[in-house]
Amino acid sequence: MNIKLEKLRYIKVVRQNLPKQYEDWLASLTGPVVFDVEGKIKHKWRVVSVLVHGNEPSGFIAVHRWLLSLDTPYTNVRFVVSSVEAAKQQPLFSTRFVDGVTDLNRSFNSKDTSCEVQTRAASIKQAIAEVKPEAVVDMHNTSGSSPAFCVTTRIDMAVQALASFFCQTVMYTRLKLGSLMEQDFDCPIVTLECGGAKDQIAHEMAYQGLHEFLAVEDIFSGHHLKLVDIVEHPLRLEFNHDYSLIFAEHKDESKDVTLVSDIEQHNMGTTRADCFIGWSNTGIEAFTVRNEQGDVQSSHLLYCEEGKLYTVHPMRIFMATSNLEIAKKDCLFYGFCVDEA
């Protein structure tokens, strides 16, 4: 894939002239943009980031809907719309990475700007830092159908208050992957996983949370009383590139590993111990499980018995996907072991 990467541009958005369809607004953008909306209070800022991944549209759809509402935010708001070129590839919102290879949300820790994607990451960080925001929300979609949840690398009351505008579950992680969420803007920041990219409920949740987040006077007063469910110590299940993989209802003898095609159902509730999830001709060698320190703990999530794969412990699973590209290039899911009920 050869997509010309545009530089981040600062633009002015005239809300009254905005296209009524979000697809038309996307078509009018040539590359990543930053734009500001003036609030009732001019000395404070909040930041909303969308489309870090081009195949995750809920945040973009929510921002478009909010702009059309002509609501005035309580503080100034800076919007950052990132992977526009990827999102515009046909069919719309189907392409994840702007260059087809490099994940923007794994590039924010890099100090090397020789790569165009890393240059873009640096410019996004600068655009956020220069307004000294009181909070940052980075809006995403899960790679499969899923309830909404937030992800954070700190879990103080301010972060919980921020997350509570959007969901009831917060994944607390110490994993360092190079994401926007890991950056220090001297304020609370969360990654919001709105749910599945094709789920209308995800678009609606994104808009309702955004509307409330931008309208409220004090984002840290009162909302912290809405307790969020915190899950922590994730194990990241990765698939090793040397093996072949497919998602199917029955075992595919031509592949090293066949995972059940409905694996995304495990994003709901708790998955029991000894739950069947697929077949393997290589035991668990095709998988790598890493903890927050990056240590390999491959036997902690799965075991193989007579060529069949099962879960070891009861666990809550997040971001399980049947998208083959994401499963191979990123991860299969995050697992949080839970106590037996």
Question: What is the tens place of the pLDDT at every residue in 143-173?
Answer: 888 899 999 999 898 999 999 999 999 999 9
pLDDT over threshold 80, residue 340: no
Query: In whole angstroms, what is the distance from residue 43 CA to residue 56 CA?
Result: 31
User: What is residue 244's predicted lDDT score, i.e. its pLDDT?
Assistant: 96
User: What is residue 224's predicted lDDT score, i.e. its pLDDT?
Assistant: 54
pLDDT over threshold 60, residue 1: no
Query: In whole angstroms, what is the distance from residue 55 CA to residue 154 CA?
Result: 27
Taking residues 48-56, what's their average pLDDT?
A: 97
- β-pair partners for 33: 9, 81
Q: Which is more confident, 291 or 2?
A: 291
pLDDT over threshold 80, residue 304: yes
pLDDT over threshold 60, residue 111: yes
Burial 126-157 (b: 16+ CB within 10 A, else e): ebbeebebbbbbbbbbbbbbbbbbbbbbebee
User: What is residue 341's predicted lDDT score, i.e. its pLDDT?
Assistant: 46
Bond into 91 cis (ω within 30):
yes
Domains located in the chain, CATH noted? 9-232 (3.40.630.10), 235-337 (no CATH)
φ, ψ of residue 173 in degrees (nearest 5): -130, 150
Identify the weakest region by mean pLDDT among 86-90, 141-145, 179-183, 314-318. Answer: 141-145
Q: Output the CA torsion sign for 287, 288, 291, 292.
A: negative
Average pLDDT, the chain: 92
Token pair 């890393």 is at which residue?
118
Which of 62, 213, 86 lies closest to 139 in space, CA to CA?
62
For residue 284, the one-letter residue type is I
User: What is residue 221's predicted lDDT score, i.e. its pLDDT?
Assistant: 79
> pLDDT per residue over 188-223, tens digit each?
999 999 999 999 999 999 999 999 999 999 998 756
Which pairs count as long-range contacts for 100-104, CB under 8 Å and 24+ apart, including other chains? 100/1, 100/3, 101/1, 103/53, 103/329, 103/330, 104/52, 104/53
Which of 80, 23, 88, 60 lies closest to 194 in space, CA to CA?
60
Instruction: Please give the helix or strand (H or E) that residue 91 lies within, else none.
Output: none
Taking residues 279-298, what's their average pLDDT?
A: 89
pTM: 0.87
Confidence tier at 273 by pLDDT (50, 70, 90): very high
% the chain with pLDDT above 90: 76
Confidence tier at 225 by pLDDT (50, 70, 90): low
